Amino acid sequence: MRLSLVEVIPYALPFRDPYVTARGTLTRREMVLLRIRDEDGVEGLGEAVPLSLRGGVTVPEVVRELEALGTEIADDERLSFPARCAITTALLDLTEKREGDDAWHAPVRCNATLTSGPPSEVAKEAERWAADGFGTFKLKVGTGEDAAQIAAVRKALGPEARIRLDANGTWSLEQATEILATVEPLGIELVEQPVETIAEAAELSKRTRIWLAGDEGIVTLEDAEEAIRADSFSVTGVKLSKVGGFELGRDLAGRMRSYVASALDGPVGIAISRRLAE
C-alpha cells in the first residue's frame, strides 16, 4: 500500500508499581507506535511490544526495521514478529476506518495479574483486584516462596476465585513437579510456561493434573503442532506482538485451544488483542 505518511514513534509508559517476574523487573513498558496515513488522509495505528526481557528483539531494532520500509508498508516474513504486528495492525486499522466499520464489540473479561513478592503483600494485591470485580487471577511465580505465595492468594480470595500461575519457563522439571504437587489441592486452573521446552512440558503433564499452558514455547503454528503431537501443553496464551499480529494469532488460536494474553501492551495493542479475544 502506498502511503503519504509513515511515523515510527518509540515511547514508554511507566508502571504504577514495579512489575516483578521470574525473568526480571520492569518499571516501565517500552513500545513502538506506528502511525500511517493514506493519500486521502485516513490514518491507521499499529504497535510493537518487543519482549526483550525474554531475549527477543529490542525497541531500537524494531524502530530500524519499520523505518527502513519507508512509505511502502506491507507485511514481510523477514521482519521480526513485533514489527509485523505493528504493520498488520496499522493496515487493518486504516482499512476499517476507510470502510467505516462501526460494529459493536462485546465486552471481554480479563484476569488480574499479580506480581511476585512477599506472600502477605501478594495477598493484599489480590484483594485489591478482587474489590475491583476481578474473578480470575494470574500470579507470577518463579522468584522464590512460590508455594507460600499461592497459598496466601487462595486464602485471601476464597474457593471461588480462579487462580492461574505463570513461571515464564524458569522452573526446572523437578522444581515444577514438586511445586505443582504441593499446590494442586489449592485448585489451580492452569500454570503458564512452567518449564522451558515442549519436551519438558510433555513429561510434566504426566506428573500433574493441573493444565499446562504454553507461552514462550509456542510462537508459531509449527510450535503448536509439536506441542499437540507431544501431548504437552493443553492450551496456549496468544500475545499478538509475540506471534506477529492479528491474522497469525487467529491462525494459532484456530489450531490449538487458547486464550488471548497481553505482552504489557499499550492502548493500541490492547485494542487489537481485544478484537481477537471476541
Residues noted as catalytic: 140, 239
Measured distance CA(150)–CA(99) in Å, rounded: 48
Going from the C-alpha of 136 to that of each of 180, 210, 265, the distances in angstroms are: 19, 16, 19
| Cell 512509505 belongs to residue | 71
C-alpha cell at 233: 501443553
Measured distance CA(233)–CA(258) in Å, rounded: 10
Residues β-bridged to residue 31: 11
Going from the C-alpha of 71 to that of each of 34, 67, 68, 213, 247, the distances in angstroms are: 12, 9, 9, 39, 22
